[in-house]
């Protein structure tokens, strides 16, 4: 499969309401989409990356620049025929978290394109050692006001989600206060069979 071109698109994903945690208050997130076009436009593969300045130091702009540099490397698989070419290319990139969103988006787009060219599902390219037929979802409870916490707890109960992720702050005494509050206890009661993960 001959890759014709690669494009990076910045996207803005708005939230239905604010989602806050100790590092940020957010109403939306800025991600990137990578599109790999191959075989004269007959195959298109897509990957998404989530650059977060407070996690990896990346922004949409820096992730796009990283991808532009990565595709100029000698071992970039412009003629892509086997998944090992993708693994070799990714293994040859700079290690560390500084380019995680860029690598993730590009790698996923390449895997998607290769899968489409070979009529295979992307999961076929991964080892089966950690495969599971169950996925557990945990709802997130953000740092928010009373009313928002109650609304989220009611939604969690309605959806029958039994696992909860808490977004807490850096201030341990504030975290303790939240966990010991009557509001939090009422939330746990509303959710019923809840396990903290």
Minimum mean pLDDT among 71-75, 98-102, 130-134, 149-153: which range? 149-153
Rg for the chain (alpha carbons), in Å?
21
User: What is the per-residue pLDDT for 184?
Assistant: 66
> Is pLDDT of 5 > 60?
yes
Q: What gap in Å lies between CA 152 and CA 140, rounded to an integer?
A: 9
Q: What gap in Å lies between CA 65 and CA 124, rounded to an integer?
A: 30
Q: What gap in Å lies between CA 154 and CA 167, rounded to an integer?
A: 17
Q: Which domains does the chain have, with CATH numbers?
A: 3-125 (3.30.390.10), 139-196 (no CATH)
Phi and psi at residue 182, in whole multiples of 5°?
-65, -35
Q: What gap in Å lies between CA 173 and CA 74, rounded to an integer?
A: 53
**pLDDT tens digits for range 65-106:** 999 999 999 999 999 999 999 999 999 987 777 899 999 999
Could you tell me which residues are beta bridge partners of residue 33?
9, 48
User: What is the per-residue pLDDT for 2?
Assistant: 97
DSSP letter for each residue of 92-152: TSPPSGGGHHHHHHHHHHHHHHHHHHHT--GGGGS-STT--S-----EEE-S--HHHHHHH
The reported pTM is 0.73
Edge to edge, the sheet with strand 25-38 lists 3-20, 25-38, 43-49
User: What is the per-residue pLDDT for 69?
Assistant: 95
* Averaged pLDDT score across all residues of the chain: 83
């Amino acid at each position: 499969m001959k890759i014709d071109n690669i494009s990076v698109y910045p996207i803005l994903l708005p939230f239905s309401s604010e989602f806050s945690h100790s590092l940020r208050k957010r109403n939306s997130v800025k991600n990137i989409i990578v599109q790999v076009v191959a075989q004269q436009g007959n195959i298109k593969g897509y990957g998404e990356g989530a650059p977060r300045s407070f996690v990896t130091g990346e922004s949409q702009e820096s992730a796009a620049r990283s991808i532009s540099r990565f595709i100029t490397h000698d071992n970039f698989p412009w003629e892509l025929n086997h998944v090992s070419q993708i693994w070799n290319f990714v293994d040859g990139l700079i290690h560390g978290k500084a380019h995680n969103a860029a690598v993730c988006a590009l790698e996923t787009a390449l895997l998607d394109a290769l899968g489409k060219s070979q009529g295979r599902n992307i999961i076929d390219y991964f080892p089966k050692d950690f495969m599971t037929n169950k996925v557990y979802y945990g709802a997130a409870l953000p740092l928010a006001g009373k009313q928002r916490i109650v609304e989220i707890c009611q939604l969690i109960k309605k959806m029958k989600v039994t696992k909860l992720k808490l977004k807490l702050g850096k201030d341990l005494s504030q975290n303790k206060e939240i966990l010991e509050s009557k509001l939090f206890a009422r939330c746990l009661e509303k959710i019923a069979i809840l396990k903290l993960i």
